[in-house]
Amino acid sequence: MFLTKKAIPRRTLLKSAQGALALPLLDAMIPAATGWAATPAKPTPRLGFVYVPMGCDRARWTPPGDTNLDELSPILGPLKPVKDQVSAITNLRLQNAYPGTHDTSNSAFLSAAPAKHTEGSDYYLGVTADQIAAQKMGRDTQLASLELSMDLNPLAGACNNGYACVYQNCLAWSSPTTPLPSEAHPRVVFERMFGEGGDAATRRLALSRRDSLLDSFTGSIAKIKGRVGAADRSRLDQYVESVRQVEREIERAEQAVADNRTPDLDRPVGVPAEFADHAKLMFDLQILAFQADITRVITFQLSREQSNRTYPEIGVADPHHPVSHHGNDPEKLLKLSKINQFHVSLFSDFLQRMKATPDGDGSLLDHSVIVYGSGMGNSSLHDHENLPILVAGGAATGLKGNRHIRYEQGTSLANLHLTLLDRVGIPMDSFVDSTGKVEGLFELTDVA
């Protein structure tokens, strides 16, 4: 480790005419005079939520073990490389999502609140758990939170059963009347993260020339590397290469637009044609945002309720929404399980990359809590019982991992949110209809 009495500030932001580049956490960001010289730089906790729609095939989702994930179910099989940092939870419910719609499945997932039944602009919900966290965790970051999705999400009009579209298309709400729209275009997200430091005309000119954002920081990065030790230089190289790779993937997708003769009408122009490639790119942006401490709170809608996306790449040519109305038909249930497994595989890849990304004395996954799940249980019934929920993270967060936890039937999902907020340093007496914190998921160690 290389430490100096004058440390590099944690919020160091390199600026150029093209943009701004935040740095990852380096050991040199802790001054020797603080007494921390014997330990690596201490990271901050991160909190993420990944939403999947229309429930699951519960029979192929539920792990066979009552206490652990030593044996994984068919749908959760892709989690094997990271199962020691994942817990599956059974028997959580969303009472306030009833009467049972796609809209309320999405809106209640992070709010646990009832949605006002309206098609107009007088919608009303509640502050979501992510935004409660962002109010505190976002004070020292460039972005208080980041809201991402995979599809174009219209916010006006009615989408289903007389509910305004905002309920189905916005996971995050900063107030009961303020839904936060999500962004599905990787270029827009990249620009939001790294596009500060120059006017719009300058950035557009750079893009038109296909200049890399990183090219404008070559000298500054070299100077930083000259001040730090070998471990920090390695971290910087890895981070810079990750940013460059994401930039290349975005450019490749934009260049391929002209060759795409059958565009997905729900997908923004200029994103990868393959769903998995688009999802990976959006997950990679999340890793960069966490790694550089651009934000500590992210929500990601991996697919939207009532999505009619097909998945021919995994042998499911039928649209997701009709398949989810399976009526216990074995063929439809098998197709639904294939979609569920595919989504879990994308999440597993994300966790593996988080685990491989250094952060302080561990990895990004070690210092994060990521929730994956749906606000719907049995999609054929549109119920909100026994929700498919995963919680991933590392020992540094207190998460035990390799667990299958069966709570009492009907335990409120709000209990989990209350517990998660406490883990990231936001203790609350209650959250909406919570009845207490969940047990068995975290060690007692205070990590916030």
pLDDT over 70, % of the chain: 85
Does pLDDT of 66 surpass 60?
Answer: yes
Q: What amino acid is encoded at 138 in this protein?
A: G
Instruction: For 195-212, write each residue's pLDDT tens digit.
Output: 754 555 555 555 555 556
Q: What amino acid is encoded at 212 in this protein?
A: S
- Tell me which residue has tokens 């107030």: 175
411: helix, strand or coil: strand
Distance CA 312, CA 317 (A): 5
The whole-number pLDDT of residue 5 equals: 43
pLDDT-wise least confident of 131-135, 178-182, 270-274: 270-274
Q: What amino acid is encoded at 219 in this protein?
A: G
Instruction: For 277-289, write each residue's pLDDT tens digit.
Output: 999 999 999 999 9
Please state the rounded mean pLDDT for residues 215-235. 82
Does pLDDT of 33 surpass 50?
Answer: no
The whole-number pLDDT of residue 222 equals: 85
The whole-number pLDDT of residue 282 equals: 95
Of 89, 57, 62, nearest in space to 76 by CA: 62
The whole-number pLDDT of residue 221 equals: 82
Instruction: For 189-198, write each residue's pLDDT tens digit.
Output: 988 888 754 5
Distance CA 345, CA 378 (A): 21
Top-confidence range, 37-46, 84-93, 146-155, 264-273: 84-93
Residue 318 phi/psi, 5° resolution? -85, 145
The whole-number pLDDT of residue 179 equals: 94
Start-to-end CA distance of the chain, whole Å, equals: 25
Distance CA 178, CA 266 (A): 23
CB 257 within 8 A of CB 6: no
The pair of structure tokens assigned to 244 is 């460059």
The pair of structure tokens assigned to 409 is 């039937």
The whole-number pLDDT of residue 32 equals: 47
pLDDT-wise least confident of 164-173, 209-218, 303-312, 435-444: 209-218
pLDDT-wise least confident of 44-48, 218-222, 307-311: 218-222
Mean pLDDT of the chain: 86
Distance CA 85, CA 67 (A): 14
Distance CA 211, CA 22 (A): 19
Please state the rounded mean pLDDT for residues 145-149. 96
**What topology is assigned to 45-184+300-448 in CATH?**
Alkaline Phosphatase, subunit A (3.40.720)
Q: Is the dihedral of CA 16, 22, 24, 30 positive or negative?
A: positive
* 326 half-sphere exposure, CB direction, 13 A CA radius: 21
Please state the rounded mean pLDDT for residues 114-141. 94
Does pLDDT of 156 surpass 60?
Answer: no
The whole-number pLDDT of residue 329 equals: 96
Domain boundaries, the chain: 1-42+187-270, 45-184+300-448
Does pLDDT of 263 surpass 70?
Answer: no
Confidence of residue 4 (pLDDT cuts 50, 70, 90): very low
Distance CA 226, CA 221 (A): 9
Confidence of residue 239 (pLDDT cuts 50, 70, 90): confident
Please state the rounded mean pLDDT for residues 364-387. 96
Which residue has better confidence, 226 or 146?
146
Distance CA 380, CA 267 (A): 26
Instruction: For 8-30, write each residue's pLDDT tens digit.
Output: 776 677 777 667 777 787 887 76
pLDDT-wise least confident of 63-77, 231-245, 305-319: 231-245
